[in-house]
Amino acid sequence: MKKIEKINILVGGPTDQWPDQLKQGKMTGDWIGIDRGAKRLLKLGIIPVVAAGDFDSIDAEELTNLQSRVSDIRQYPPEKDLTDTQIGVSIALDDFDASKIDVYGATGGRLDHLLANLFLVLDEKFRPNASKIRLIDQQNTVNFYLPGEYEIVKEPDKKYLAFVNLTSVKGLSLTDEKYQLDSFDSEYPISWASNEFVGTKNHFSFRTGVVAVVQSRD
């Protein structure tokens, strides 16, 4: 298959958590539709490059419609090792060598689904590609980082900034944010919530672990 630099994935979370641009069907780019996410893309007039999942959330007529409109359908048994989101990200990485992967429909609804999606980057298959993956909904953008020094850019519609070490972390420094840290170590996850940018660009660094950075608004 051809390389796709940036790919969007729609999984089956509540539609009221979608960004407005997605609700209005105004998003461009290539899509992977996962389970009911594939059906919802078709309703928006978007034909995904791949539709995948066990399709246990759609009926036989809807599955037939998918099969008639999407050229690449991948059906998995309900008893599978990967979550739906893991399937989508695996396809984006393995089949399309995507450098940027934006996941929608991954928040809201069931808390266990949210946690599975948030922790996805900790799996050894996905961790080396953590920086390629974003979770996006109506109020939040979540980026994932491996150890290093980073500059982050404020999204114009977001007010708040949070740093969440998903693993133990060493040397977490928030250099020029409103609330700063200096080489902080922790053996367990902490959400440093309700921080804010100073200006439009800020910086942070850490030596070990995996950190999620969340830009959000009320």
Q: How much of the chain, in percent, has pLDDT values that exceed 90?
A: 82
Assess if CATH 3.60.10.10 describes domain 1-138.
Answer: no
CA angle 65, 77, 88 (to 5 degrees): 70
Flag whether pLDDT at 1 surpasses 70: no
pLDDT band at 109 (very low <50, low <70, confident <90, very high): confident
Average pLDDT of 120-124? Answer: 96
For 30-41, what is each residue's pLDDT tens digit? 999 998 999 999
Distance (Å, rounded) from C-alpha 179 to C-alpha 206? 16
For 162-203, what is each residue's pLDDT tens digit? 999 999 999 999 999 999 999 999 999 999 999 999 999 999
Indicate the fold that domain 139-218 takes in CATH: Rossmann fold (3.40.50)
Where in the chain are the domains? Answer: 1-138, 139-218
For the purposes of burial, counting CB atoms within 10 Å of the CB of 16, is it exposed (0-12), middle (13-18) or buried (19 or more)? exposed
Predicted TM-score of the model (pTM): 0.93
For 126-161, what is each residue's pLDDT tens digit? 999 999 999 999 999 999 999 999 999 999 999 999
Contacts of 21 (CB under 8 A, 6+ apart): 27
- CB-based contact 10:87 (threshold 8 Å): no
User: Fold match between 1-138 and 139-218?
Assistant: yes
Return the pLDDT at 60. Answer: 85
Distance (Å, rounded) from C-alpha 208 to C-alpha 148? 8
First to last CA, the chain: 41
Return the pLDDT at 54. Answer: 82
